[in-house]
Structures are given as C-alpha cells and as structure tokens.
Structure 1
C-alpha cells in the first residue's frame, strides 16, 4: 500500500492532518539507560493511533554528539546508538504504517555538528573539495569577527578555527557550524540525505530553522533593535536579523525539496519559521504548488497569554485559498514552555483549561501539531539548576525557563518509580505532579483530559469542515471566542469561554446547530467548550 497517496476527496493526506510530535529522548526508554529510544516509540504506537491522530513527527534521532540533543547532526543517514539502529527505525516505520499513521522526521539543513565528516574536511584547508561547504571568513584587520552577527544561544555568531586560520559562522552553538546552502553541491548532498529517508518510506519532513539556511553573501552588519519595551535575555535580541538569515534564495532551494518530495507522492514538508515577523516568510515558503506543503510560526509558542484577538489575527492571515499557503499550528513543543503553564490563570481548573486549549488547537484551520503530553494536560516542569541539561538554559539561568521543562519524560503510569518511562534514572527528572497525570491513570477516568482529547479527535476526523473548511469569526462579546468552519454543505460552530467564570451565550446564536461536544450552550462554564454542527 502506498501510504503517501492522496485521500480526502483528492486532497493530499496531510492537508488538515493532526500531527503528534514525539521528542524521542523523553518518550519511553526500553534499554534501561534513562533515555528514550526508537523501540520505545514503536511500543507506544498503538497508544498514539488510539488517540486518533493522523501522523507522528519524530524529533532528531540521527547520529550526533548531542550538544543540542540531536539538532547537531554528525551523520544524516544513520541512527544514533542511544536511540537504536536503522533496523529499529525500519520496524517503527512499518508498524506505524500498519496502524495507519504517517511518519514525519526532522531535517536540519542550516547547520551540522562540528563532528560531521563534512566539517572535518572543510576545516582541513582552504582548497579541498569541501572547503566551501561551510561559511568561512577572514577576521577584520584588528582580529575581531567579520561582522556583528550574534548567535541565538549568546555571543558572536563566529568562532576562530586555528586549522584554517579563519572564523566559521554558527547561528546557534559553536558546535553547530553553518552550512553554506548557497552552494548547490551542498544542496545536492542535503537532498541526497532526504532521498535516503524517502526511499525508506517516510511520509514527510519538518525542516528545522529553515529560514536560517541562507545569509547575505556580502556579510553586512545587522542593524540594532532598541531594547525599550522588550524582554532582553541575550545579545541576539538586540539586532534586526535581516542579513544573517531569511535570504530570498531560500524559497528557490525549497522548490528543489518539493520537486524531490513530489516524485515520491504526497509527501508532507513543513517549515519551522522563527522570528518576530514570520508571515512574509511563511507565505513565500508555501505559496503555489512548487514550494513547501506548510509552515508554522511562533504565533502561539511563546505567547504569554491566550486571547481571542491573537487567535483571530493568526487565523485570518491564512483564510484564503489553498494556493495562498497552508499553515500548521503548535501551542507547545520541545523548545517552548507548555501552554497550560503559560496561559492557565492561577485560580482556574487546570484540567478544564487543558481541554479548552486542545479543543481550540483542533478547531484551527491548518494542521494541528499536538506535542507529547498535551493530550494529558501536562504543565511545564520545574527543573532545578543542578538537573539542567540544555546548554541554553544553563547559560541564561535564571532569566529564562529554558527548554528542559518541556522535555521531561512522558508519564505512563503512576505507581512506578519513574512514572513508567524507565527502570533507570531518567536523563531529566519526572515533572512535578506528572505521575498523577499519567496516561494509565487518565485512561481509566472518563472525564480526563486524555479521554476528552480522544473524543474530540474522533469528532474532528468525521468533519470535513474542521479538517479543510473555510474559517471565519462570528461577532460575539468577550470573553467568548467563536470560530465558524465551513466546507460544502457542512458548517461547524466552535465556542470557547476564555474566562474563569461562567458566560452566557445568546440563544439565537446557536439556533439550528446540533451539539457535538459540550452541553447547553445557553451558558458555558469557566473555560467551557461547545461545538455544534449544521447541514445547510
């Protein structure tokens, strides 16, 4: 069976699909080393399929020194031993497909590890075949770096290399040297790595930090960005990043990626687009039929509060035809603090709030990306300084929450020492209160976040309007948020009470709709959700 064939009335399988993100280090450990692995994911595929999602996205499991926990790749076509083997991946892929799940994997094209063979060759001399595979520059006459570009993780985006007697560029850690993706030979090598995984049968790629893949070849300084009114935690925040990223040739490279993907059928390609103004890039990356399938921004990932205004503004940027681009949405991921902790008011019922955020994510037009543990309503874990693993978190402590608190192990059962994740001490501690929210505990509770999310996903999978329909926002008074989704003869009305108190709904507002989720809807309880459907 060709798992990449179009479905949904001629639309590719991925349009409107729900994607479940797995951070493999923290999903399930089967070899008792405290680190999750590929066999652990395979063991839980039936659980994932039982949620009702369409696909899984697995964060990097490639060979790596793990300076950035897999986002520093030293071999694009091999599995790091801590996660298993290529055979383990083949087993995972086959089992996922048997269960009807598509498999999406990360591709990291902006940089490699400094332990990659390509970099070892590139730094060896200035005149070998790999010399121009990375970004090298001579120092200024006074010995300082070539320009003022700053690394995301702090400090200059340049490190001196004694072998070549030059600086090399890195937008992230110094152990993540920047690939010269302007070089077509480098593009060919990256596409060859993508082909390796496509030949194995993967169904899609999430392109990490792809707007960092190309830079200004003239290496002009970035202009300053005044700090007034902003939370500044690193020098990177003090620049407008118009020269070290977002080069206009990036979409041209994406056309090569799409051409390869299309030769294998309906392959999903989604770009991660970070930055303060991602919309122009998201649109450029996805417009038409020759570029990527989708893109997702950080509209929600770092937002300090949830508001109807934010939801409307984000959605209406993508309210046009499919040809204008197709968005994906995430409220939490492995890099961002969990949304329940960011958005839930202190005096609110956290379980009910988690139901609201999951329901809202699943009602947005686009592809919802549900991060592992969101189906359980997990809050952000507090990780003590001595337990931190993330180099960014350690460097910026205590000014930022860091990323470790969203990466703590998945809780599977309450009674075990490490919440069913491992029989050994995990690489990060189990989050506070997470064992009480374990999957086994919630599976037995009809009112749990887990069972609510399963029911919601089942309802969504039966609704063409929620998967593919147009989106609009009926006028309704705060604190209500109303979303209308329409496709063909089906209309779905989604109501969300964003307040901590009960809120009345005008009776005429829901006339003609039959209830799919919720009760009432004359009055919605605090953070209540109501979904209704009508046939026109």
Structure 2
C-alpha cells in the first residue's frame, strides 16, 4: 500500500540534475545520450540521491540545445529513442530513483509543426497559438519589450506581415497561453510523459507563460527590487521592469489546471524555475495552497554573493514569504557559473568551502538540487571563444561568457576525454583542470569531495528532521549560519562557517555532536557541525 511518505517523496528529496549532452557518450559521436545515462545510473544511485532531473532531450534543431523543442513527444535522434527513454526510466525505478524531465512550455522552436502552421496566414487553425502583433505605424515593433538573449523581443515575419514574440532567441517563438487550445495541448503533452512513467517535471521559466494581452510597454527598473534576478547586469534586459512581459496573474489558473493533471498520477511532482523581479514572492504565490506547483526555485542562491550576511537575509526572506509553500534549492545548475568557482574563487581552502556549501545546501528546509559534477567539486571550465556553443555567451562576450563553462563533459576517468566519449572531439572541450578530479580519481580517496557527498547524503537519509522538519535561525556569531531543523521525532542544530575567520559557537550547544566538525566551542573557517538536541 502506498503511504503519504511515498507520495510525498519530493518533499525534501534530493534531486540530481543531468545535462544529457555532457554526461556520458555511448556511441562515440562526442555528444552525451540516453544510453550513456543508463550506463551511469548505478553511480548516480550510489550518491544516495532520490531523483534525477534530465535537461531536454526532445526533438530540436538545437539552436538553444534542446530548450527549443520542435516535437514535445519524441526523443531527438542524437540522444536515442523513446525506447531508450523507457529503458532509462525502468532502470532508474529499479534502483529507487525517481525521474523528472524538463518541460519547456513557454515557447517552442520555429521548426515546430504548430508554428509552421501558425505563420502561414492569419486565418489557419493555429493562427492564434503564438503571440502575433501588428507593427506600429512606422513599422517598428509593437512595444519596447526586450529579449533575454539580446535585442528586441519581436521578430518580423514576412508571410503574416506581423511581428511574433520571442523572449529568448528569434527562433524560439512564444506560445499564446491566452488561447485555451494551447493550454489543452500543453496539458496533453504533460499527460503523455506521465503515462510513460515519469515522476515529475522541472518547468522551464514557469513565470513566463503569460504576457499582458494589451502589450503595454515595460517601465524602467528603478529599484533593485524591480531588476531581473539571475541575469548579468551587462545585459540591457536588466534595465526594464518586466511586469507586462511575464509574471501575470493569469498564470495561476493555468498552474491549477496543470496540478489537476499531476494529481491524476499520485506521487508525481513539479518544480518550477522562476527568474523574475522579486522572485521569492512568486515562489510563494506559485507553491502555496497545495493546488499549483509542488515546489519552485529562484536565482537568489545562484548569484555571486555567498557571504553569511547575504545568505542569512535571503533565507529569512524565503521563510517569511513562503508560508505553506515549498522551496527547491540549488547553488549550481546548467545556467550559471559553478559554485566551486563562483563562491570559492578567493577562499584560502576552496575544497573545504565547497564541502561547507554542500553541507548548507543539504540541510536547509526544502528539496535540494545537485548539479552533475558538483559532487566532484568541479570548478567552472574555461572555454575559449572559438569553442563556444552557447548563443547567449556569443552575443554578450566577453563581459558575459555564457553557460558553456558549466556544461563541459563530465569527467569519469583521467584519460584525455575523461571517459566521457571514445571520440577525441567532444561537443565542448574538456578542461584539463577537471582531469585530476575525475570520478576514478576520487573513488578510492575517503576524503574526496565525492565520498564526502555520498556520506553526507547517506547520513541525511537517517534524519527526518532534515528532510521535512521546520527551520529557524539561532542567534550566533555573524560569521556563522546556525539554524534548527526540528520535527516530532528529533531536533537538530546545524552550524556552517562559510567565512575566512574562526567563529565561536552559540552558548548552550550541549547536545550530541553528530558530525565530527562539531567538537569544541569554535568552528574553523569552512567547517560545519550538526548536533542533536535530544
């Protein structure tokens, strides 16, 4: 019989993110694929995570590497087939791993059959499936909205003699969610994958499904609260307050419709990506009440600041806003500079700080995401301009180098192509500094980052207060983050020192030290400790 704990596995479950192009290449073409992931599922299970999240593997022209979908219901041949995906899902389930897949609902590729039909004329059956608008009298776009990837968010189409909206590349036209038929088609897509056996969805840019139908101009972002979190300040996109382009209240009713589909498949889940001004408010709005998203994440912990003061203030804001909602936390993913570079570059002991960061991530209230290679402590790779693949980085180089540095091949062995591929030409180059950090090098070292992550996650599984308990800060030295995790069965105190200074522990920590660093009355730089209060 299925119990609530099994149905709510996602609540506090650890999610391991896989970027398929870069995980493992099984056929020697230099690009990772589904069979490569299947071959590594035993390794993933050994990390003691609860689920895998697969970035897009759907049919696509790959101008944005799968986030430009041309067929929502099939696997791109470079990754394999639907049969491969079924095999992957079956093996993952046999190992106790849930399977979450990316779903990119806000836009499609311009090669999608829906858009090809929509652009033919203004009277076809899908004419209103995308966001079309007439030009101003002078021929310019209908408003001042900008694309995240540079320039206007509007692209002229000669066939329809209209502009279409694209929040990203001009080859990624935005779907018109004001059209109920579009919503129905998207919900049918969700049901297709759930019936295939997936356990949930990571929802790309979940706050960007709807736009202001009146196409009102965006205002200037006049305060930090109005700026778009998670985008490099060099990008002019940051200069606008995007309240008309995204984050519309219309989205709430669609999320309720999606939740009803999810509820048809008990134990399934959703985690939404929210990049927005004041993203924490939308995290709360989208996850409260138990009738929309199960959980969501924002970019507040994916930026450059890892100071105890910033982290404390941010986590307090999350707790104050969230109510009965549920967060998902990540400090690295496929869109940002890896935390082992972003947060440890100037530290005296980068590996120790990387371990402390993971300790914090895995003890917060929420569902943590671990990005592939993060368990190895991989730093950001250096990718020369001539090897760049990311259109975002090519557009804004050199101030912003794009996302390729966190997407390079996963190092499995200390060979030239790090056991990722039999090909000497991989889709992104291997960074030489990753070679000595390969899985094969870390496996036999009991003090390695890899074995630290394994032991921490194994320990975590034995402590329900970490998985689903409450969260509250404890007064402490300003260089420390000290918080209580408590449920009906246990009460734990976690102290993390992310600073360069030795810090005194709070008075009264007399419980049993559950983690070795918790001995004594002080924490050295980059140490952490966990105590039982019972």
TM bucket (normalised to shorter chain) is over 0.9
2:243 paired residue number:
242
- C-alpha distance in structure 1 between counterparts of 2:315 and 2:487, whole Å: 16
- C-alpha distance in structure 2 between counterparts of 1:228 and 1:259, whole Å: 36
1:144 paired residue number:
140
- The within-5 A match list for 1:167-246 is 167-225=163-221, 232-246=233-247
Pair 1:114-2:114 in alignment: no
- C-alpha distance in structure 1 between counterparts of 2:48 and 2:337, whole Å: 25
- The within-5 A match list for 1:65-464 is 65-225=61-221, 232-302=233-303, 304-319=304-319, 324-414=324-414, 416-424=415-423, 425-464=425-464
Measured after TM superposition, the shift of residue 6 of structure 1 is 4.6
- C-alpha distance in structure 1 between counterparts of 2:345 and 2:408, whole Å: 23
- C-alpha distance in structure 1 between counterparts of 2:335 and 2:329, whole Å: 14
8 Å CA contact retained: 1:26, 1:407: yes
Q: State the secondary structure of the residue aligned to 1:510.
A: coil
User: What RMSD, in angstroms, separates the aligned Cα atoms of the two structures?
Assistant: 1.8
Mean Cα deviation higher: 339-348 or 450-459: 339-348
- C-alpha distance in structure 2 between counterparts of 1:82 and 1:338, whole Å: 26
| Closer/same/farther in 2, CA of residues 236 and 6 from structure 1, 3 Å limit | farther
Which whole-Å deviations, capped at 9, do the CAs of 1:57-90 have from their partners, x for residues lacking one? 0000000000100000000000001100000000
1:489 paired residue number:
489
2:527 paired residue number:
528
Measured after TM superposition, the shift of residue 279 of structure 1 is 1.7
Q: Which runs of 5 or more structure 1 residues have no equivalent in the other structure?
A: none
8 Å CA contact retained: 2:286, 2:292: yes
- C-alpha distance in structure 1 between counterparts of 2:351 and 2:202, whole Å: 30
Measured after TM superposition, the shift of residue 313 of structure 1 is 2.9
State the TM-score, normalizing by the size of structure 2: 0.96
8 Å CA contact retained: 2:18, 2:54: yes
Measured after TM superposition, the shift of residue 227 of structure 1 is 9.4
Measured after TM superposition, the shift of residue 347 of structure 1 is 4.4
8 Å CA contact retained: 1:456, 1:517: no
- C-alpha distance in structure 2 between counterparts of 1:53 and 1:350, whole Å: 24
Q: State the secondary structure of the residue aligned to 1:16.
A: coil
Measured after TM superposition, the shift of residue 324 of structure 1 is 1.9
State the TM-score, normalizing by the size of structure 1: 0.95
Which whole-Å deviations, capped at 9, do the CAs of 1:135-177 have from their partners, x for residues lacking one? 0011000000000000000000000001111100000000000
Q: State the secondary structure of the residue aligned to 2:459.
A: helix
8 Å CA contact retained: 1:205, 1:268: yes
1:42 paired residue number:
38
Mean Cα deviation higher: 290-299 or 429-438: 429-438
Mean Cα deviation higher: 430-439 or 289-298: 430-439
8 Å CA contact retained: 1:114, 1:176: yes
| Closer/same/farther in 2, CA of residues 227 and 268 from structure 1, 3 Å limit | closer
Measured after TM superposition, the shift of residue 322 of structure 1 is 8.8
Measured after TM superposition, the shift of residue 517 of structure 1 is 4.4
| Closer/same/farther in 2, CA of residues 509 and 405 from structure 1, 3 Å limit | farther
Q: State the secondary structure of the residue aligned to 1:472.
A: strand
Measured after TM superposition, the shift of residue 351 of structure 1 is 1.3
8 Å CA contact retained: 2:513, 2:529: no
